[in-house]
Amino acid sequence: MATTTRRRARDRHSGVRDVPVRAHWILLTTLVLTLSAALLLQGYTQHLFDRTPDAAPREPATAASVPAAVGSGGPVVEGASARTTAPAARTVSLTFDDGPDPVWTPKVLDVLRRHGVHATFFTVGTRVAEHPGLARRIVAEGHQIGLHGFTHTDLGAASPWRRTLELRQNQLVVAGATGITTPLLRPPYSASNRALTDADWDAVAQAGHEGYLTVLTTRDSQDWRRPGVDRIVSNATPSGRAGQIVLLHDAGGDRAQTVAALDLLVPRLQKAGWRFTTVGEAVSLPRAERPATTAYAWQGSALIAALRTSDRVLEGLSWLLWAAGAISALRAVAVFVAARRHRRVRRKPWGPPVTEPVSVIVPAYNESAGIEAAVRSLLASDHPVEVIVVDDGSTDGTADVVEALRLPGVRVVRQENAGKPAALNTGIAAASCDLLVMVDGDTVFEPDAVRMIVQPFADPRVGAVSGNAKVVNRGGLLGRWQHIEYVVGFNLDRRLFDLAECMPTVPGAVGAFRRDALRRVGGVSGLTLAEDTDLTMALCRDGWRVVYEERARAWTEAPASLGALWRQRYRWCYGTLQAMWKHRGALVQRGQAGKLGRRGLVYLLMFQVLLPLLAPVVDVFAVYGLVFLDPVRIVGLWTAFLMLQVLMGLYAFRLDGERPGPLWSLPLQQFVYRQLMYLVVIQSVFTAIAGSRLRWQRMERYGSLAVPVAAPAEAPPGPVPVAAHAYEAPPAHGYGPGYGAQGSPEAGFDGVYGGQPAPRHGYDPGPSPAYRPREAPYPATPRGHVRPSEGPVRDRRGERG
């Protein structure tokens, strides 16, 4: 009760709020659905838009179903009754298709106003949505507005449902932009009555049943061919006295010839006695345009807003796509160059060999499944060690298992459950050596790992060393993917951080520290879920160098289910965000702290926060491209991106001495694993912004660790002499069970506080295993522990790494 009260008080003091995570999923789902809707709308309006010029030649087709009265009748057709009408004699109706256009429509309107004539503009819905002000100007200056399809598609070739959609959406945006509706329709690619085909007539008849009058033409200026100003004037000039409906264009390309021809045609025909009218006036159509109802106008305005928003979304996605590509390329180049240089630099020794003994601290909570393997691997080290197992109130008998082994040089310290940071601080206080190694209870060390990880301490500037964590349970597909991520992602980054002197994380699974450095920063803090990242950043800000020793290898268990992986990575990412925020002051500091801030934190922000947030843009755009763009090009770009990852993977596996076989699963990884990691980052950012408290989840232990053995030629190192002083476990530090291990992608101490206790395995420790040759360091044990699918790889020169 007291612990719960303290935790609640701490939460109130820190301003942490218990906001249901479900709300974040609702927000994320809403964003995804909104983005999908915007892209679908953009794809329909832009990439199903038919840009073939009006009146362009088409393949011959039959006209058997076209009524004779329509084929030889007037250009204004009522499709439902197959009736037609023609303009009055000596009357000309100028009609303009494909607009409005921000360049040419205003020029056409200026010419018409200068000569005092009115015309009819058949507008495309998507262009009205782009330029609603021009549609309003057309109506305001006394011209008539008509429909030319929403996406300028050939209505004759379209399905009935799409014809209805094209006309309804076209009418909606006109109503939203101008406040009126119109019954006048000119189908794209239509011409005169005699040019109607069976498919065209089917579309005209359907439009008639839906309340539209189809307006065809009697004279085609052919300005879409750009034949020259004189030719356009000649084509548009009537012969005889019959009324005419003339086809012109105010959009669809350069219309300079149309504007110049119009300035000659109108005064010439006026002088010849021709009267210019709109189509409605030419055929005495009463009230061709009507005010739109309020509801219909609002719907139209909403559609215009949606269309313009989708334009901005696509423009934003395009910029984000370029940004994601640039960041990915920058990271690939940076880690490749850094890895090559790191390999050369680290061939030089740090200084005289470090031979002083080491205290190894193993914090453990319900680790009975693997604690024996972890402890025995440490005692098999070829470097003198003392092992301190801090049992943090386990309920599965973890401490009993270790004590029953009766191994020399191993001590067990019990404390009430207080969290991993408190357990580590307990171990630090109990240690007798100046060099400390911290290892999770689900991790086993290779025999030379301790010796290798302490060698950088020959440099007095080094305060901490990161080791090389390897995935032991890599047999399944999920295990292979995590193995690839550890080698290609984490270890390549660590080499870069080492060279740039800005290492942000020493993993909880395998890390070494100077006692003095830990004392100066106040030990391990429990203020974040990423206590190892928090500690490493604190050391950097205190002026210590933190380096990477790739030859210090340890084997850790990785999550074996997507649910467990999600919980682990979610906690890692959230804890890292906490640590970054806590140490943001490093951005303006100098020295080692400034390197962490301006190099390490900026790198984490760009490549572990922003890039995962932007990366889904690539996938969304790929789906968009497969549906609406060139699928071959999209597949080619995706393949190129995949090949870049494969090449990086091959190089990283070579550096780590790993067989490249698991890389065959990289294509599958892109469709499942990568998406999961993106969602983890997105969810973590939402959680951080909302101020929600992330609860601890215990990861399952699978018992896949085996006990390593040492070479027979070497006597096992004796236990480190421990100073003969009375030891008392320090009091708990008040870190509640909500805090625990992790922080970095290598921390294997996953979810051990607040979860269900692991079952007792009925340990019968028996005698220590006999020492065997180091070529087979991970034999099967009597309890069925399995050997890793890929054991440690040795360098052919006999030295690891």
Question: What are the start-end ranges of the E strands in 474-606?
Answer: 511-514, 545-556
Spatial distance between the Cα atoms of 754 and 430, rounded to a whole number of angstroms: 25
pLDDT digits (tens, 9 = 90+) for 380-425: 999 999 999 999 999 999 999 999 999 999 999 999 999 999 999 9
**In this predicted model, which residue has the larger pLDDT, 340 or 25?**
340
Spatial distance between the Cα atoms of 549 and 555, rounded to a whole number of angstroms: 15
For residue 376, the SS3 value is helix
Phi and psi dihedrals of 353, rounded to 5? Answer: -55, 140
Structure tokens at 794: 């040795």
| Residue 89: pLDDT over 60 | yes
Is this model's pTM higher than 0.85 or not?
no
Alpha carbon distances (Å) from 645 to 331, 639, 666: 11, 10, 8
What is the structure's pLDDT at 247?
Answer: 96
Alpha-carbon 625 to chain mean position = 17
pLDDT digits (tens, 9 = 90+) for 625-638: 787 777 888 888 78
Q: Assess contact for 601 and 768: CB atoms under 8 A.
A: no
Kindly name the residue from 97, 250, 440, 498 that is annotated as catalytic. Answer: 97
Mean pLDDT of 267-293: 91
**Nearest CA to 471 among 707, 741, 748?**
748
Kindly name the residue from 24, 143, 148, 249 that is annotated as catalytic. Answer: 249
Structure tokens at 73: 């009748």
What is the structure's pLDDT at 644?
Answer: 85
For residue 597, the SS3 value is helix
- Is 249 marked active-site? yes
Q: Which ranges constitute the DSSP H helices of 150-197?
A: 160-178
Q: Tell the residue number behind the tokens 């009748």, with chain if given.
A: 73
Alpha carbon distances (Å) from 622 to 39, 264, 321, 429, 434: 12, 50, 10, 55, 55
End-to-end CA distance of the chain: 51
Alpha carbon distances (Å) from 440 to 417, 445, 474, 562, 777: 16, 10, 18, 22, 19
CB burial of residue 527 (10 Å; 0-12, 13-18, 19+): middle
Spatial distance between the Cα atoms of 121 and 105, rounded to a whole number of angstroms: 10
- Is 97 marked active-site? yes
Spatial distance between the Cα atoms of 460 and 352, rounded to a whole number of angstroms: 12
| Residue 496: pLDDT over 80 | yes
Our CA dihedral for 465, 466, 467, 473, rounded to 10 degrees, sits at: 160
What is the structure's pLDDT at 17?
Answer: 42
Mean pLDDT of 503-515: 95
How confident is the prediction for the chain on average, in pLDDT? 81
Mean pLDDT of 674-679: 82
